[in-house]
Structure 1
């Protein structure tokens, strides 16, 4: 499966910049749905961050997905890769 990678940067309430990627099936192009996936991910965080908008989450590239990523996308529609300051 090919996935689209959406690069996301948000400022946390403590000033740190949070960086994570939202991976979705590359056939999904509905930006509102992709942003909703990111908002859903953020609901489970123990800290607050600035609002997720299309200026903070942009399409980056397409890549081949691993089996783990494919399984998560088939189950919940997306996969998150936490890069920096996500915990």
Structure 2
């Protein structure tokens, strides 16, 4: 399964930076931004903001089996980078 990676920077209400990738099966920046907000809400970061260009297409991976089930189940997966909860 090809996955499209969107490099994302969000800022919590307290100013904390959350850096993560949104992985989708389609290259769609609007959906990536929506999924980023959905995920932020799910981890208790309601009201976090994503700056313009803060969720941009980065690259496509041909095979990422560790994320395939999550993308199939939820429509997206999150790869946590910096500032994200474990």
How far off its partner does 1:13 sit? 2.5
How far off its partner does 1:63 sit? 1.2
Q: Helix, strand or coil for the counterpart of 1:15?
A: coil
Q: Do residues 58 (structure 1) and 51 (structure 2) align?
A: no
Query: Can you give the 5+ residue segments of structure 2 that lack an aligned partner in the other structure?
Result: none
Distance verdict in 2 for CA 1:67–1:58, change over 3 Å = same
Tell me the distance in 2 between the aligned counterparts of 1:4 and 1:30: 9
Tell me the distance in 1 between the aligned counterparts of 2:70 and 2:22: 12
TM-score, with length taken from structure 2: 0.82
Residue aligning to 2:15:
15
Q: What is the total number of aligned residue pairs between the two structures? A: 85
How far off its partner does 1:6 sit? 0.2
Query: Can you give the 5+ residue segments of structure 1 that lack an aligned partner in the other structure?
Result: none
Q: Residues 1-87 of structure 1 correspond to what in structure 2 (within 5 A)?
A: 1-25=1-25, 28-48=26-46, 50-87=48-85
Tell me the distance in 1 between the aligned counterparts of 2:6 and 2:33: 9
